[in-house]
Every structure is written in C-alpha cells, then in structure tokens.
C-alpha cells in the first residue's frame, strides 16, 4: 500500500516576509486606523450635512489639492528609487533620491501654507461650516505627518552619509520608506474625499 503524501503547506517563506520590521507595521496600522476614523467621521458628517458637503469642495483649490497629490506620489517614487539604490550598493545615489523626497515634502508644506492663506482670503475657516471643520482637521493632521515624515527622511540621509546604512543593513531606511508611503496613501484618499467628490 502506498503511503499518502501530504502536500506541502501552502504558506511559503514569502507569505511571512515583512518589509521593514514589525514595529513600523504596528505604527503604520495604528496611523491607518487613525485616518480611517477621520474618514468615517467625514462620511457621517456628509450624510448628515449634504448641503455643506456639496457646496464645500468647489470652493477649495483643486489645483492645490491635485498638485500636492502629484508631489506626494513623486516623493514616494523617489523613496522607492532610494531603496533600490541602497540595494545596489549606491548610498550616495540613495541619499540623492531621498533629498528629492524631502524637497517634495517641503514643497507640499509650502503649497499647503498658500492654500490655507487662499482659503482665509475667501473667508473660509473651521468656523464656516462642518465641511471646512472636517477639511481643516484632516488636512492639518496630514500636514503634521508630512512634516515629521520629511524630518525622518532627513535623519535617514544623515545616517546614509555617515555610513551607518549599507547594502547589507538598511532596515531603518526601509522603515522610513514604508512610513512615507503610508502618508502618501492617506493623502490619495483625502484628495478625492475633500476636493473631488461633491
């Protein structure tokens, strides 16, 4: 009688591999949950205040929102290229790509400053109505993430330049790259909710 051979477990090494480390994923999932709560607040406020949410987005600057979306996506692209460069043992090139990402972060903050100024000139504030209260709460929260995310990338550049990160060991760089992509994910969700859908 032939012995039945059990098939190998379907879970391969790949399905257990974690980009970065578990600590950064705990942070990313916590941050994504925080943004999810804000999005639920947005949906609830929208169904209870349809007029404010229909009339709100057209008064915002779509150009500023779209520009910042393009900037965030480009910064994410730069971060991916920085990861590829360090894997190819090109730390200087990796640092240059990361400088590109930091520049995008700074540009985002400058655009956001002018966007808020433009809103104020139009008489829009957190007091105007619930749509703008949600808009300011969500976008200012995201702005803070961009600011400290940019600072974290600058720290990674310093560590790259001092030779702490190498082709073999660069987990810190990967962690910051993942965190930055999370900030990008939050923004690509915020953009349609606040600027596009009405």
Q: Return residues touching another protein (CB under 8 A).
A: 11, 14-19, 25, 29, 32, 36, 39, 43-44, 46-48, 50, 57, 62-63, 65-66, 69-70, 73-74, 76-77, 79-81, 84, 88, 178, 181, 184-185, 188-189, 191-193, 195-198
Residue 160 CB, nearest approach to another protein (Å): 19
* Cβ proximity to another protein, 14 vs 168, nearer residue: 14
Q: What is each CA distance from 29 to 63, 80, 95, in whole angstroms?
A: 30, 20, 27
Residue 88 CB, nearest approach to another protein (Å): 7
* Cβ proximity to another protein, 18 vs 158, nearer residue: 18
Residues 6+ apart with CB under 8 A from 7: none
* Cβ proximity to another protein, 4 vs 47, nearer residue: 47
What 113-122 contacts at long range (C-beta under 8 Å, 24+ apart), as own/partner pairs, is 114/64, 115/60, 115/61, 115/64, 115/65, 118/61, 118/64, 119/60, 119/61, 122/59
Residue 71 CB, nearest approach to another protein (Å): 10
Residue 23 exposed, middle or buried by CB count within 10 Å (0-12, 13-18, 19+):
exposed
Residue 143 CB, nearest approach to another protein (Å): 19
């Amino acid at each position: 009688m032939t012995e039945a051979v059990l098939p190998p477990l379907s879970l391969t090494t790949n399905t257990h591999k974690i980009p970065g480390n578990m600590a950064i994923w705990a942070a990313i999932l916590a941050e994504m949950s925080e943004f999810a709560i804000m999005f639920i607040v947005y949906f609830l406020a929208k169904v209870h205040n349809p007029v404010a949410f229909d009339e709100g987005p057209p008064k915002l600057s779509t150009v500023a929102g779209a520009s910042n979306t393009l900037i965030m996506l480009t910064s994410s692209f730069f971060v991916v290229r920085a990861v590829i460069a360090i894997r190819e043992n090109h730390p200087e090139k990796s640092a240059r790509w990361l400088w590109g990402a930091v520049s995008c972060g700074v540009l985002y903050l400058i655009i956001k400053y002018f966007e808020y100024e433009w809103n104020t000139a139009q008489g829009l504030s957190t007091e105007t109505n619930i749509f703008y209260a949600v808009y300011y709460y969500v976008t200012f929260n995201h702005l803070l993430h961009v600011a400290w995310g940019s600072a974290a990338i600058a720290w990674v550049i310093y560590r790259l330049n001092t030779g702490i990160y190498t082709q073999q060991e660069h987990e810190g760089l990967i962690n910051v790259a993942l965190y930055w992509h999370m900030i990008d994910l939050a923004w690509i969700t915020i953009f349609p909710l606040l600027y596009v859908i009405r």
